[in-house]
Chains A and B, each alone.
Chain A
Amino acid sequence: MSTYNFDYLDELEAEAIHILREVAGQFEKPALLFSGGKDSITLVRLAEKAFRPGKFPFPLVHIDTGHNFEETIVYRDKMVERLGEKLIVGLVQDSINEGKVTEQTGKNASRNALQTFTLLDVIEKNQFDACIGGARRDEEKARAKERIFSVRDEFGTWDPKRQRPELWNIFNGKINKGENVRIFPISNWTELDVWNYIRRENIELPSIYFSHQRDCITRNGQLMAASPFLNMDNDDVVVKKTVRFRTVGDMSCTAAVESHAFHIDDVIAEISDSKISERGARLDDKVSEAAMEDRKKGGYF
Chain B
Amino acid sequence: MNILKFFTAGSVDDGKSTLIGRLLYDTNSILLDQLEALQTSNRKNDDGTIDLAILTDGLRAEREQGITIDVAYKYFQTDKRKFIIADTPGHIQYTRNMITGASTANLAIILVDARNGVVEQTIRHSYLVSLLEIKHIVVCINKMDMIDYNENKFNEIVEKYKKLAEKLQLKNVQYIPISALKGDNVVQNSLNMSWYKGESLLNFLEEVNTENLEQSPLARMSVQWVIRPQTEKLHDYRGYAGRIQSGTFKVNDEIMVVPSGVRTKIDKIEFFDAQLQEAHAGQSVIIHLKDNVDMSRGDSIVNASNLTVDSKLIEADLCWMDNKPLDTSVTYLIQHNSKTARCKINEILHKVDINTLDKFSADNFSLNDIGRVILKTADLLAFDLYNDNRANGSAILIDSRSNLTVGALMFRATLD
Select the stretch in B28-36, B123-131, B188-196, B376-384 that faces chain A. B28-36
Per-residue interface assignment for chain B, residues 25 to 48, with 1 indicating a CB less than 8 Å from any chain A CB and 0 otherwise: 000000111100100010000000
A170 B82 Cβ-Cβ under 8 A: no
Select the stretch in A108-116, A139-147, A223-231 that faces chain B. A139-147
Chain A residues, CB < 8 A from B229: 53-55
A2 B31 Cβ-Cβ under 8 A: no
Interface residues of B in 6-40 (CB under 8 A from A): 31-34, 37
A170 B335 Cβ-Cβ under 8 A: yes
B335 A145 Cβ-Cβ under 8 A: no
Cα(A79)–Cα(B175), bound, Å: 53
Interface residues of A in 12-57 (CB under 8 A from B): 12-15, 17-18, 21-22, 24-25, 48-55, 57
B59 A160 Cβ-Cβ under 8 A: yes
Chain A residues, CB < 8 A from B342: none
User: With A276-B31, A293-B59 in contact, do A49 and B271 touch (Cβ < 8 Å)?
Assistant: yes
B398 A174 Cβ-Cβ under 8 A: yes
Cα(A166)–Cα(B398), bound, Å: 12
Cα(A234)–Cα(B283), bound, Å: 58
Interface residues of B in 79-126 (CB under 8 A from A): 82, 84, 96-97, 99-100, 103-104
Q: Is A274 positioned at the interface, with any CB of B under 8 Å from its CB?
A: yes
A14 B283 Cβ-Cβ under 8 A: yes
Q: Is B217 positioned at the interface, with any CB of A under 8 Å from its CB?
A: yes
Partner of A165, one of B3, B227, B321: B321
Chain B residues, CB < 8 A from A104: none
A170 B403 Cβ-Cβ under 8 A: no
Give the distance to chain A from B306, nearest Cβ to Cβ, in Å. Answer: 14
Partner of B34, one of A49, A50, A277: A277
A24 B59 Cβ-Cβ under 8 A: no
Select the stretch in A3-11, A66-74, A95-103, A212-220 that faces chain B. A3-11
The number of chain B residues touching the other chain, given as a range, is: 35 or more
Chain B residues, CB < 8 A from A24: 224-225
A275 B280 Cβ-Cβ under 8 A: no
Chain B residues, CB < 8 A from A17: 243, 284
Chain A residues, CB < 8 A from B405: 164-167, 172
Chain A residues, CB < 8 A from B3: 8, 11-12
B32 A275 Cβ-Cβ under 8 A: yes
Per-residue interface assignment for chain A, residues 243 to 278, with 1 indicating a CB less than 8 Å from any chain B CB and 0 otherwise: 000000000000000000000000000000011110
Partner of A188, one of B32, B73, B272: B73
Chain B residues, CB < 8 A from A293: 58-60
Cα(A7)–Cα(B80), bound, Å: 12
Give the distance to chain A from B53, nearest Cβ to Cβ, in Å. Answer: 12
Chain A residues, CB < 8 A from B77: 190, 192
> Can you list 22 contacts pairing A with B, beta carbon distance less than 8 Å?
A7-B2, A8-B3, A13-B284, A14-B284, A17-B243, A18-B284, A49-B271, A49-B272, A49-B284, A53-B229, A53-B231, A144-B56, A144-B58, A144-B73, A144-B74, A145-B71, A161-B61, A170-B396, A174-B398, A192-B77, A279-B33, A289-B37
A residues neighboring B (CB under 8 Å)? 1-2, 4, 6-8, 10-15, 17-18, 21-22, 24-25, 48-55, 57, 137-138, 140-145, 160-161, 163-170, 172, 174-176, 187-188, 190, 192-193, 274-277, 279-280, 289-290, 293
A-B CB proximity, top 6 nearest: A141-B58, A280-B33, A17-B284, A21-B224, A174-B403, A277-B31
